[in-house]
Each structure stands twice: as structure tokens, then as C-alpha cells.
Amino acid sequence: MEIITATETIPRALLQEYLLLTQMLNEISPKTEIPEIRCSYIHVSKEGRVTAYYRYVFRSSDSVHAFHELLFKNFDTGTWKEKKLSKQFELLEEYKDRKLTTSDKQKIQEILADWRKIPGNWIIEKMRQVLPDVNWINNPNHLKKILKK
């Protein structure tokens, strides 16, 4: 476990992305707390292969704001992850200066639960935008097969 979660074993591309992100965050605001890279999940396949999943961890709202401003404020790519991050940012803004009650926490969990899985209708809509001339997009049987995967 220590080898998998050690900083030295972070995938090279993720580390390069992280270094670029920290450099850009420092340019925007030198006092911004830099996020950490943490192993968030480890999967061991039946064959014994190990896959580690990583994520950025932000400890301050200032660093979240700087990250949002740097990468998302003036962009609209229409991706699911971008929309999910925007929703999370909205929730941060709504609840940022107060202690959360039990009902607040429950409400936030319910809202975020809707964002855990990409809904089929969103996938179909995006497919129609990206592939407008393809005939099989309007075939309900074919779409069911795609959405089952």
C-alpha cells in the first residue's frame, strides 16, 4: 500500500499536470494553498493487477476558487465533469460561511447523489450533438445497447 500511495509512484502524466497546475495557481495568487494528490481508490483485478485512482485534494476555499477561476470560469466545454464541478462549486458558494446542520448535510448529499452517474438521456443528447448525421442514434434498440455498457 505504501508503494502505491507514495508520491514517487504517481503516474508521470498526472505529476506533470499537477506541476503545471501548481505553477498556474501560483501565478494567479502566490498565497493560494496548493492542492495535494492523493490515492482515492485502489482496485485489484481477478488477475491480480492493481489500479490506483488519484484525485486532487483542496483544503481551502481560496484554492478551490483559484482552481475554478483558472480552469472553468470562462470555459464551457459541456462535459459532464465540468457540469458536476460547477454544481459542487455552487454548493460551496451557498454554504461557505456557515456551519452545516444535519439537514444541510443531508440536502447536499441528496443533490450530489444525482451527479454520481451520468444519466442516459444526457449521453444520448451529447451523441446527437457530436454525431448528427448518424442514423442509428434514432434507433431505440441500439441506444439501449449502448446505455447498458
Over residues 57-90, the pLDDT tens digits come to 888 888 888 888 887 777 777 788 888 888 888 8
The answer to whether residue 27 is domain-embedded is yes
What pLDDT, on a 0 to 100 scale, did the predictor assign at position 149?
58
Task: Residue 30: give the domain boundaries.
Answer: 1-71
The answer to whether residue 91 is domain-embedded is no
What pLDDT, on a 0 to 100 scale, did the predictor assign at position 65?
82
SS3 readout for the chain: CHHHHCHHHCCHHHHHHHHHHHHHHHHHCCCCCCCEEEEEEEEECCCCCEEEEEEEECCCHHHHHHHHHHHCCCCCCCCHHHHHHHHHHHHHHHHCCCCCCHHHHHHHHHHHHCCCCCCHHHHHHHHHHHCCCCHHHHCHHHHHHHHHC
The answer to whether residue 15 is domain-embedded is yes
The answer to whether residue 13 is domain-embedded is yes
Domain count, the chain: 1
Over 80: is that where the pLDDT of 51 sits? yes
What pLDDT, on a 0 to 100 scale, did the predictor assign at position 109?
93
pTM exceeds 0.75: no
What pLDDT, on a 0 to 100 scale, did the predictor assign at position 121?
80
